[in-house]
Structure 1
Amino acid sequence: MGALFRRFRERVVDGEGAGPAPVGGRRGRRGRRGGEEVAVPPVEFTSYYGRPIVKAPVWRWDIPAYLFTGGLAAGSSLLAVGGQVTGRPVLRRAGRLVALGGVGASAFFLVHDLGRPGRFHHMLRVAKVTSPMSVGTWILAVFGPAAGVAAVAEAASWLPSRGVWRLARGVLPPVGRGAGWVAAVTAPVLATYTGVLLANTAVPSWHEAYPELPVVFAGSALASGAGVGLLAAPVGQAGPARRLAVAGAALELVGAHRVETRLGLLSEPYRVGVAGRLLRVGRVLTAAGVVGALLGRRSRVVSAVSGAALVAASVATRFGIFHGGVASARDPRYTVVPQRERLARRAAGR
């Protein structure tokens, strides 16, 4: 019995029987037998075979293009109603025509991503306020016809002034004004719902940026609409476009700065790689466009170049946000580390 007890103490109490030796060396033994202290290496996150934990979006270039054209349409409709209220026909005309072109392009890109036009129609069978995709589909269904009627009304001045055409010349302008207001009222939701849509996914850097993405997209939409006005209108009629450019650039720059700094580790995908380069280009173009808009009050060329810079900045910003989210989904680190940090905070708060 004494021999069995000694053997039990050596294997269990002194540590020999406590389990398999760790990788990289033999387990040390403590107590009267001496030996090294057991050193546990720091644990790092991993995933099965290094594969992503969250499935990356399968969207292609047509979805970021859809994000841009939808914002362009929304900003242009606001520009159009501003020109309508202040009596600036060039701004009104440019805004209405670009709004129609933008929403038409948005519908094309969306249907292209869905694969079949019938799927867009099927989405109109249900109205679900808790689904950003459902809400967005209905917004497009309201905004699109309104923008189309407003744009068609611009053709009234080109119609002959006799016969039935004379009646059309009298009816189209007031109908166009009403349709322009309908488009302008729905424009803010059209400009921002795509940010809500991205934040409603499981993609880490999109989901965590849910307060900022609608702000970034709203500012980008206003800046692109202002760019249309600066491109189309003479300097004497571009006052509302310049003010719109300042407001849009402020929202876009502040929102993008928060996205790149507030999210901790999840801000990293927006600062590196393709997304980082695109967002830096967008920031530079936005700043240059606003400065040019303010300094080019008397120069048609400077005003037009500033407008083009603002439109290009909107493209770069939308594509940058898109690529940043995709990059965060492909790397499991952006899923595991924030989860562990949240668990640690909850445990510390108990």
Structure 2
Amino acid sequence: MVPEPEFRSYYGQPIIKGPLWHEPHMPAYLYLGGLSGASSLLAAGCELTGRDRLAAPAKIAAAAAGTAGAAFLVAELGRPERFLNMLRVFKTTSPMSVGSWILAAQSGLAAVAAGSALTGLLPSIGKAAGLATGITGPMMATYTAVLVADTAVPSWHTGHRELPFLFAGSALASAGAVAMVAAPHREAGPARRMAMVGAAMETVAGEVLERRLGLLAEPYREGSAGRLMRAARVLTVTGGALAAVSGLTRWRTPSVLSAAALTAGSLCVRFGVLRAGRASAADPKYTVVPQRERIDARERNRAHGR
């Protein structure tokens, strides 16, 4: 029997160009964008159900996170005019172009809603802007997953089914975490439920991602990315459990601990996904081996007349 040959590439050089995004700029932007979008969704729901004492801090969190996220994106781009140049056109086939407009709309509407909530001025306009962010918010929380999946980076592109759910769950968990601490304890029930749902969605999506990708799941399990993803899983599960406990007691301590764990878990996910993508782009086997497997599968199907 001839042993299965090990994969070797030409001098071990990467086949594709890896992502040039920097830390902490891009992971921070991914986290803050998700926080802004999910907070807006929470605020819109509270606006419709008359929960003003929870809607106000959610609006402020959405505006603050959206503004800070835009600042991190501009820092990543290097010059502010580069972001403005992306708004010169609207290209539906480009996640970067669509995302730029989503970010602009979300940040602007969230700022109007938060400004009205803080000052009491123009309440009708503020309410309309807050309700509008209920539409732009979910798009803001998930478009970044489409952005990273729509690349040649193997572990990102192959995970295009799970990454939106992973990012959405992480965004819901982080927004619920902030609102749990910022709102009065008695009014924070919807925020706690959002945090628990987000923690469950993030955990399940991460597990499905690593099980389905096969070889391409290795970058999510190994090295610094693997450590971050494991830490995220522990922190998120712990934070979700503490959120459930906080609803059964009058003490704020479980809420604070839950918020800290969920926030740390959400940040670990963003850093872990970025580093996993870099690792899969740097190692040629993650590009070539799946390609060979797809070619072999097509040839087998053709041989069987499928």
Pairwise same-fold verdict (TM > 0.5): yes
Q: Does 1:186 align with 2:148?
A: no
Query: For 2:147, which of 175, 188, 197 is the aligned residue?
Result: 197
Deviation at 1:267, TM superposition (A): 0.5
Bigger shift: residues 304-313 or 187-196: 304-313
Q: Does 1:345 align with 2:297?
A: yes
1:76 aligned partner: 39
Q: 1:231–1:308: 8 Å Cα contact kept in structure 2? A: no
Q: 1:215–1:252: 8 Å Cα contact kept in structure 2? A: yes
CA distance in 1, matches of 2:7, 2:118: 63
Q: Does 1:46 align with 2:12?
A: no
Query: For 1:315, which of 267, 270, 291 is the aligned residue?
Result: 267
Query: For 2:228, which of 271, 278, 284 is the aligned residue?
Result: 278
Query: For 1:56, which of 6, 12, 18 is the aligned residue?
Result: 18
Deviation at 1:90, TM superposition (A): 2.9
The secondary structure found in structure 1 opposite 2:20 is coil
Aligned AA (1:57):
P
The runs of at least 4 aligned residues of structure 1 exceeding 3 Å deviation read: 39-44
Deviation at 1:193, TM superposition (A): 0.7
Aligned AA (1:148):
A
Q: Which runs of 5+ in 2 are unaligned?
A: none
- Deviation by residue 1:185-209 (Cα, 9 ceiling, x = unmatched): 1111111111011111000000100
1:128 aligned partner: 91
CA distance in 2, matches of 1:300, 1:79: 20
1:17 aligned partner: none
1:334 aligned partner: 286
CA distance in 2, matches of 1:40, 1:276: 33
Alignment of 1:11-26 (within 5 A): none
Q: Which runs of 5+ in 1 are unaligned?
A: 1-38, 158-167
What's the TM-score, normalizing by structure 2? 0.94
Task: Specify whether residues 203 and 155 from structure 1 end up closer, same or farther in structure 2 by C-alpha distance, changes over 3 A only.
Answer: same
Aligned AA (2:280):
S
Q: Does 1:113 align with 2:76?
A: yes
Query: For 2:203, which of 225, 229, 253 is the aligned residue?
Result: 253
* Aligned pairs, number: 299
What's the TM-score, normalizing by structure 1? 0.82
Alignment of 1:159-238 (within 5 A): 168=121, 172-238=122-188
Q: 2:39–2:59: 8 Å Cα contact kept in structure 1? A: yes
CA distance in 2, matches of 1:278, 1:156: 41
- Deviation by residue 1:242-271 (Cα, 9 ceiling, x = unmatched): 111122122111111111111010001101
Deviation at 1:42, TM superposition (A): 5.0
Deviation at 1:93, TM superposition (A): 1.6
2:105 aligned partner: 142
CA distance in 1, matches of 2:4, 2:301: 24
CA distance in 2, matches of 1:314, 1:75: 13
- Deviation by residue 1:58-113 (Cα, 9 ceiling, x = unmatched): 11111111111100111111222233233333321211111111111111111112
1:11 aligned partner: none
Q: 2:146–2:164: 8 Å Cα contact kept in structure 1? A: yes
CA distance in 1, matches of 2:252, 2:47: 22
Query: What's the C-alpha RMSD, in Å, of the aligned pairs?
Result: 1.5
**Largest Rg, 1 or 2:** 1
Q: Does 1:300 align with 2:252?
A: yes
Deviation at 1:48, TM superposition (A): 2.1
CA distance in 1, matches of 2:76, 2:243: 36
Question: Relative contact order (C-alpha < 8 Å, sep 6+): which is higher?
Answer: 2
CA distance in 2, matches of 1:229, 1:97: 10
Query: For 1:289, which of 239, 247, 260 is the aligned residue?
Result: 239
